[in-house]
Amino acid sequence: MASNNVVLDQEINILIVDDEPDSLVILASLLDGLGVVISASSGEEALVLAKKHQPSIAILDIEMSGINGIELCEMLKADPNTADVSVIFITSHTEANIEYKALEIGGVDFISKPLDGKICRQRIKNHIELKKASEALQHAENVSFKEKERFRVTLNSIGDAVIATDAQGLITYMNPIAEHMTGWLMKSALSRKIEDVMTLRDAETKATVINPIRLALEQNRIVGLALNCQLVSRDNVVYRVEDSASPIKHKNRIIGAVIVFHDVSEAVAMAVKMNHIANHDQLTDLPNRVLLHDRITTSINIAQTNQSAIALLLIDIDRFMLINDSVGHYEGDRIIQMMAKRLVKFKAAASTLARIGGDEFVLLVPNINKYTDVDNIAENIVEAFRAPFVINDQEYKLTVSIGISLYPFDANSEERMMRHADVAMYRAKEQGRDQHCFFSNELETTLLQRHNIETVLREAIKTDALEVHFQPQIDLSNGKIVAAEALARLKHQGSYIPPLDFIPVAEEVGLINRLGEQVLLKSCQTAYRWQAAGHRIKVAVNIAPKQLSSPEFYDQVIDILSKTKLPAKYLELEVTESALMHDLEATKLLLQRFRQAGISIAIDDFGTGYSSLSYLRLFNVHTLKIDQSFVFDMLKDEQSLSIVKAIIGLANALSLTIIAEGIETEKHSLSLTELGCDIGQGYFYSKPLIASNFEQLLLNNIESNNGF
C-alpha cells in the first residue's frame, strides 16, 4: 500500500507537441502545476524527447509539418518504451472520421480548438489522475505478483507439504510435496474438497479422522493433527504425518485455511525400533527386565480386579558359566538362543517369556486356575531341557533349576514375586538342580539369612576382617604336627558364621576370589612366622574352583609368596576333584607350573567326586585327602571301610601322601594307623585354632615326646 502512495504522489512527465510556438506556450501555461511539462515543436523532436523522458501523458497537435500527430501517435505506440503513454489529440478539425482515427490508433481523448482553457485543463487533469491511478494499480499488481511468486517459490522449495483452501474447504493451492504425498496434481485437485484429496485415518483403528482444515475453519483457531495420524495417498501409499492447520483471515474475516504437514514415517519407525530395543533382549529378542516389569505390574492390576492368580517362574541354567567358559562366548550365545526358542514353546498367548540375565529367564503366567497347572508347566520345561543342544555336531547337556512364586498366595508385589522366585530357584539348586521348587515361608527366612551373611561378608572383606584358623595335621606314626590346614572364619556380633553358610554365598555373589586371596595371604604370613620361630611345617590352603580357573591365579600365588617371603615348599594348595575337571588341559598346565615352583597340590574330599585313576596320573598331585564322611562311618559300615582301604592302597601304590579328615575318636586314629594312613586331621587332635593358640599347640607338641 505504501508503494502505491509513492506512485500517486510522484509528478508525471507531460509531453506537448505543436509546430506553433504560441500554442506550446498556451498549453504549457494551462498545464502548470499538473506535472513536468516537456515541449516539442515537431514530431521528430518529440520522438527523441519521448524516448528520453518516457512521459505518461502526450498532448499532440494533429496538423504538423513533417510527422503529423496521427503518425507520431502510431510511432509512440509502436515503441515498447513509450507504448503505455496516454495520447490526447488537439486539433481544429471537426470531422468525425479524423476523431475516430485518432481514437482507433490509441488516443484517449480529442480536444478541439480553439481551446477553452478551463475545460482543457480539467480534461487533461482528469486524464493525468486516471494515468496515475492506472500506474499505481499496475505497480500494485507488479508488487503483488512478485510477492505471490516469492511465496510460491518458497512453498515449492520447503520440505513440508502445504495445502491451502478457501473458506468452504475447497483446495486452492498445493505445493509439490503435497502433490507427492497425496498423489494428486494441483491442477486436478483444485476446487475439490480437502477430504477428497487428503485422506486421514487413525494409525491403530484405521477410522477416518476429521481433517484439521475443517476444524480450523469451523473453530477459527490453529488445530494440530491427531496423534497416530496416517495419510493414505491416491495410490494407497500410507504416510505417518504430523503438523497443523490454521485459518487464513482478511480484515477479521476467514477467507480460507492452510495445512502444513510432513512425513514422519521414518521417525515413527525409528521410535518404534528404539522402543523395541529398549524393551527387548538383543540376543534372543525376548522381553527384557524393563518390559517384564511393565507386564508384571499390569498382570497384578488385572489379577486384583479379577480375583485371579499369577505364576512367576524364574528359570536358571545350571552351571552355564562353566559351559560358556569352556566353549567360548560365541558358542555360549548360540546355546542361549537355542534355549530361548525351546522355552518359547511353553509360552501361552497371554504369558510373557523374558530374559533378565546371562543365564536367567522368567515365564510369567497369568490367570492360573490350579496349582497343578503351574507344576506341570515347570516339570515340562525341566524335562525339555534334558534333551541335549547340538551345535556343529557337538552335544551340550544342560539342565535348569526353576523357582516359582504365586500371586497372591506368597507375594503381593512384583518385587516380592521376583525375590521369592529367586529364593525358590536357589533351593532347587541346593536340592540337586534339574528340578523346580515353589516358594515357602521357610525359604523366606533362608533368604533373609543369606542376605545378612552377604552383608557381613562384604564388610569383612572390605575391612580385611576375615579370620583364618588353623587345624593341625598329625603324622600318625609319631603324633607330631607336620602341617596345618588354613580355614576361613567369618565373625559377626561375637559368634562365627559356619563356613558351609558363607562360602556358598561368596561363590554366588562373586566374592570368592577376593576371599580366597585374603585367606591365602594371611595363611602365608602366619606360616612365615612359624618358619622364623623354627616350626618347619606346611600350611594347606583351600582353593575354590573359580580361583583355579582365574587367569591371574598363578601370578597371584607367586606374588603372595614373594611378599610374605614364605618358601614355596611350605605351601600346599587343596583343590576338589570337581574343580580339576573344569578344563583338563588348562588345569594340567597350571598344576605343572605350581609343581615347578615348588608348591604341592592336594586333592580334597577324595572319593566323593570322579575318583579317576586317569586324572591322578594326568595331574600328578602330591596328596590325597580321604573325605571325612568315609572316615566317620568306617568303624560301623563295611562299605565305607572298604573305600578307605582302597584309597589308602591307591595312594601307597602311587607314592602319594594320604591324609584322613574328620578323625574324632582314638579308635579312628588307631584303625587308620593300622591301615597305613600317613596323616590324620580332626577334632580328636584339635579343633581349628586362632594363630596364637595354634603356635602354643606347636610348642606343646614339640615338648611332648609322644606327640598326640
Q: Give yes or no for a contact between 603 and 624, defined as CB atoms under 8 angstroms apart.
A: yes
Q: To which H or E segment does residue 161 belong?
A: strand 161-166
- What is the pLDDT, as a whole number, of residue 615? 66
368 phi/psi in degrees, rounded to 5: -75, 130
- What is the pLDDT, as a whole number, of residue 1? 41
Rounded CA separation 265/237 (Å): 11
CATH number of domain containing 334: 3.30.70.270
Q: Which residue type, as a one-letter code, is found at position 624?
A: L
- What is the pLDDT, as a whole number, of residue 198? 93
Same structural domain for residues 256 and 299? no
Same structural domain for residues 429 and 495? no
Contacts of 87 (CB under 8 A, 6+ apart): 58, 60, 73, 76, 77, 106, 107, 108
Rounded CA separation 314/422 (Å): 7
Is 153 inside a domain boundary?
Answer: no
Helix (H, G, I), strand (E, B), or coil: what is residue 647? helix
- What is the pLDDT, as a whole number, of residue 613? 62
The burial class, CB within 10 Å (0-12 / 13-18 / 19+), for 241 is buried
58 phi/psi in degrees, rounded to 5: -125, 125
Is 445 inside a domain boundary?
Answer: no
The Cα-based distances of 77 to 18, 644, 658 in angstroms read 18, 134, 132
Q: Give yes or no for a contact between 317 and 400, defined as CB atoms under 8 angstroms apart.
A: yes
Residue from 468, 631, 482, 624 nearest 541 by CA: 468
Contacts of 71 (CB under 8 A, 6+ apart): 43
The Cα-based distances of 386 to 72, 336, 697 in angstroms read 114, 15, 53
Rounded CA separation 416/296 (Å): 11
Q: Give yes or no for a contact between 399 and 385, defined as CB atoms under 8 angstroms apart.
A: yes
CATH number of domain containing 528: 3.20.20.450
Q: What is the pLDDT of residues 642-666, one digit of tens each?
A: 999 988 998 888 889 999 999 999 9
> Which structural domain range is residue 460 located in?
453-704
Taking only Cα atoms into account, the Rg of the chain, rounded to an integer number of angstroms, comes to 53
- What is the pLDDT, as a whole number, of residue 3? 43
Q: Give yes or no for a contact between 453 and 441, defined as CB atoms under 8 angstroms apart.
A: no
How far does the chain reach from its first CA to its final CA, in angstroms?
A: 122
Contacts of 47 (CB under 8 A, 6+ apart): 67, 72, 75, 76
Same structural domain for residues 677 and 648? yes
Is 8 inside a domain boundary?
Answer: no
Residue from 488, 464, 485 nearest 541 by CA: 485
The burial class, CB within 10 Å (0-12 / 13-18 / 19+), for 562 is exposed
Rounded CA separation 252/257 (Å): 13
Rounded CA separation 208/210 (Å): 7
Is 500 inside a domain boundary?
Answer: yes
Same structural domain for residues 656 and 681? yes
- What is the pLDDT, as a whole number, of residue 619? 78
Q: Give yes or no for a contact between 682 and 668, defined as CB atoms under 8 angstroms apart.
A: yes
Same structural domain for residues 587 and 498? yes
Same structural domain for residues 101 and 67? yes
Is 530 inside a domain boundary?
Answer: yes
CATH number of domain containing 85: 3.40.50.2300
Q: Give Dmax over CA atoms of the chain in angstroms.
A: 169
- What is the pLDDT, as a whole number, of residue 120? 80
Q: To which H or E segment does residue 95 belong?
A: none
Q: Give yes or no for a contact between 259 and 243, defined as CB atoms under 8 angstroms apart.
A: yes
Q: What is the pLDDT of residues 215-270, one digit of tens each?
A: 989 998 888 766 678 999 999 999 988 878 889 888 889 999 999 888 887 777 77
Q: Which residues in 245-254 are b (16+ Cβ under 10 Å) and which e? A: bebbeeeeee
Rounded CA separation 609/579 (Å): 10
Rounded CA separation 542/103 (Å): 126
Contacts of 308 (CB under 8 A, 6+ apart): 302, 366, 367, 368
Is 149 inside a domain boundary?
Answer: no
Query: Cis (ω within 30 of 0) for the bond into 114?
Result: yes
Same structural domain for residues 40 and 83? yes
Residue from 660, 703, 695 nearest 474 by CA: 660
Read off the C-alpha cell for 429: 539348586
Same structural domain for residues 350 and 297? yes
Same structural domain for residues 367 and 348? yes
Q: Give yes or no for a contact between 511 and 462, defined as CB atoms under 8 angstroms apart.
A: no
Same structural domain for residues 638 and 663? yes
- What is the pLDDT, as a whole number, of residue 10? 66
Q: Which of 214, 245, 269 is the last residue of a domain?
A: 269
- What is the pLDDT, as a whole number, of residue 688? 95
Query: 2-9 and 117-157 are packed helices; what angle lies between their axes, rounded to 10 degrees?
Result: 150
Rounded CA separation 472/691 (Å): 11
Query: Cis (ω within 30 of 0) for the bond into 388?
Result: no
Residue from 401, 400, 419 nearest 410 by CA: 419
Q: Which of 414, 439, 464 is the last residue of a domain?
A: 439
CA angle 278, 280, 282 (to 5 degrees): 95
Instruction: Please tell me the pTM assigned to this model.
Output: 0.49
Quote the number of domains for the chain: 4
Helix (H, G, I), strand (E, B), or coil: what is residue 572? strand
Which residue ranges in the chain fall short of pLDDT 50?
1-8
Read off the C-alpha cell for 569: 615348599
Q: Which of 207, 235, 269 is the last residue of a domain?
A: 269
Is 366 inside a domain boundary?
Answer: yes
Is 425 inside a domain boundary?
Answer: yes
Same structural domain for residues 287 and 421? yes
Same structural domain for residues 406 and 469? no
How crowded is residue 75: how many other Cβ atoms within 10 Å of its Cβ? 15
